[in-house]
Structure 1
Amino acid sequence: MEAGIVQQLLPGVRRLVAPNPGLMTGPGTNTYLLGERDITVLDPGPALDAHIDAIDAAIVRSGGRLQRVVVTHTHPDHSPGAALLAERYGVPLVGQSIANDGHQDDSFQPDEELQHDVVIDVEGVALRAIHTPGHVDNHFCYFHEASGLLFTGDHIMQGSTVVIIPPAGDMADYMASLRALLDYPMAALAPGHGTLIESPHQEVQHLLAHRQGREDKVHAALTQLERGDLDDLVTVAYDDVDASIHPIAKLSLWAHLLKLQKEQRAEENDGIWAVIA
């Protein structure tokens, strides 16, 4: 996947990769252009002039017109480009706002506050918004009903699991949102990072099993240590990943612990966690 190169995935569905590769973004953030002439841009990515120019060039080459910009969520690698596109084209921004927890893009101010099950018309094709809280509370996936393609943002990423960052991120919500996707007739997943995933239902089931397995390890670590803080627990619950990843893993560990706390299976006092029998 090369930044700035337009790839035709399906009729009316093109992908551009932003030049922001990294540990958390993989090869870069995927921006999708939906429609041939009346175009909807999904996740314009970071506010990088080169990427915005590439989006603009793709629209111009197609002879199309930008109708709107929609975002899956407002993390800085997904939505800051929206303000630049809105200024250039004078189009509405569609998404859901959220209080800034230190990880949000304050530049994104939606003209249309998105709600679950809203249908956006893209050249006669229904693009259905599916509220999928978990990675962050204002996260939406979008179901392209004509093709069965599900645009997953950071709810599902190709090649890696998603980091859940409390308090805006919630592990119980994340797993519930994954289960809800199984009700949709998905043909493939178009993630916010990485390539198409051609076995969507199997991928969702795999992620659910992985998260449940990690939760079981977190609970077992609590039982083994009897009590401990995040630094103590991450070395046991995430002993199967490189220690260099532990600072990031502690975020998802915290999310798992909060889920166990909600279920009255763990308790916390001054940053020290203990299992509840």
Structure 2
Amino acid sequence: ARQADGRRTVLMPEHHAWAEVGRLDPEGRGDALGELVAGRAVWLSPRIVRVTAPNPGLMTGPGTNSYFVGSGDAWTVIDPGPADERHLQALLAAAPGRIERILVTHTHRDHSPGAAALAAATGAVVMGCRPEFHDGQDTSFRPEHEPADGERLDCGGAVLRVIATPGHASNHLCFLLEDEDLLFTGDHVMQGSTVVINPPDGDMVAYLASLERLRAAPPVWLAPGHGFLVAEPRAVFDALIRHRLRREERVVRALARLGEGDLDTLLPEVYADVPALLHAPARRSLLAHLLKLAADGVAASDDGVAWRYVGPGSRQSPSTSSS
């Protein structure tokens, strides 16, 4: 693989870029990038171009990915990213043709705010689902069309199928490029990290159900909102489901041992394996786990603050118990 400064580097299978570099450079010429560089246009196929926004961070990893999908003179942008003039100019410079449509996977502030300026600059139609809740959301998002689950969009000869995937956000959508069996996952699946499930907009029951739905008919590739292309999606879905259920089991064990506890009491026990730097976002996912356990009849709270153990244990999904 090649670094941004032109030097060649050797990648090992555990490197995040491994699968993507293998796809783009199967002969080992060394001309595929092994790192994500903000503002640089990367052709992932004749139908797909990726441009990463300059917003790296704790919650965004190397930055938010925007994707062009299409062919010829008709192109769609998936997730225009944050409202950042540098990223807007990078997208306009990278456009392989006329931008006729802007799709948004969800309205968290690193994914959708760039839509307004990009639409103003290009006249493109904005599509996506409005947020149901305001916390952490781009409440200025004004789509001209809200795609329905199963809807098929013609992107210059390339067809995208809409798949509703609530969980990380209630309005989250994934888009399947049918021509390549490649799924644009937004934040439903990120590379190298699990996503925060932040109630009430985030819902652990819905998130696991969405993962199970994708797992039942997995694509060949994943194009996440953060990170490189990901191969072997079924194994990824399996691992994410197992991880969430194991974390749920830790919540159950902590509740069973303590009898009762609030989030601050449970957090250091349930997330003892997670660096303290990540405990604030983990706290939100802990609440999502508790709400799921309440729905399962395993935990209960009278005031939404103190949680108590009331059941025998978490219920494991039948489809993952033997995987």
Scaled by the length of structure 2, what TM-score is found? 0.83
Q: Distance in 1 between matches of 2:234 and 2:103?
A: 25
- Residue equivalent to 2:246: 213
Deviates more, 1:96-105 or 1:29-38: 96-105
The equivalent residue for 2:65 is: 30
Which deviations, in whole Å up to 9, do the C-alpha atoms of 1:110-132 show, x marking residues without a partner? 10012101111112222001000
**Structure 1 gap segments, 5+ residues each:** none
Task: Tell me the equivalent position of 2:139.
Answer: 106
Q: Which amino acid aligns with 2:171?
A: N
Corresponding residue for residue 291 of structure 2: 258
Distance 1:100 1:133 in 2: 13
Partner secondary structure for residue 179 of structure 1: helix
How far 1:185 sits from its partner (Å)?
Answer: 4.4
Partner Cα distance (2:218, 2:225) in 1: 20
| 8 Å contact kept, 2:76–2:103 | yes
Q: What secondary structure is seen at the aligned counterpart in 1 of 2:166?
A: coil
| Offset at residue 199 of structure 1 (A) | 1.1
1:196-238 superposed Cα distances (whole Å, 9 cap, x missing partner): 1111110001100101111111111111111000000011111
Between the aligned partners of 2:298 and 2:216, the Cα distance in structure 1 is 29
- The reply to whether residue 66 of structure 1 matches residue 103 of structure 2 is no
CA distance in structure 2 between the partners assigned to 1:225 and 1:183 by the alignment: 37
Q: How much does 1:140 deviate?
A: 0.4
Could you tell me which runs of 5 or more consecutive residues in structure 2 were left unpaired when the two chains were aligned. 1-35, 312-323
Q: How does 1:200-239 map to 2 (within 5 A)?
A: 200-239=233-272
Aligned to 1:167: 200
**In the alignment, residue 276 of structure 1 is paired with which amino acid?**
V
Pair 1:92-2:128 in alignment: no
Alignment deviations for residues 123-171 of structure 1 (CA, whole Å, 9 cap, x no partner): 2222001000000100001000110110000000000000000001000
Deviation at 1:99, TM superposition (A): 2.9
State the match for 1:47 in structure 2: 83
Which of residues 52, 65, 83 is equivalent to 1:17?
52
Distance in 2 (CA, whole Å) between partners of 1:249 and 1:222 is: 17
CA contact (8 A) 2:75 2:155 kept: yes
**Structure 1 equivalent of residue 309 of structure 2:** 275
Q: Deviations over 1:4-51 (max 9, x none)?
A: 000011111010000000000000000001113201000000010000
**Counterpart of 2:87 in structure 1: which amino acid?**
H
Percent identity of the aligned residues?
A: 49
Q: CA RMSD of the aligned region, Å?
A: 0.9
Find the structure with the greater CA-based Rg: 2
| Map of 2:280 onto structure 1 | 247
**1:92 Cα shift?**
1.1
| 1:165 aligned counterpart, secondary structure | coil
Q: Residue 86 of structure 2 aligns to which amino acid in structure 1?
A: A
Mean CA deviation greater in 225-234 or 183-192:
183-192
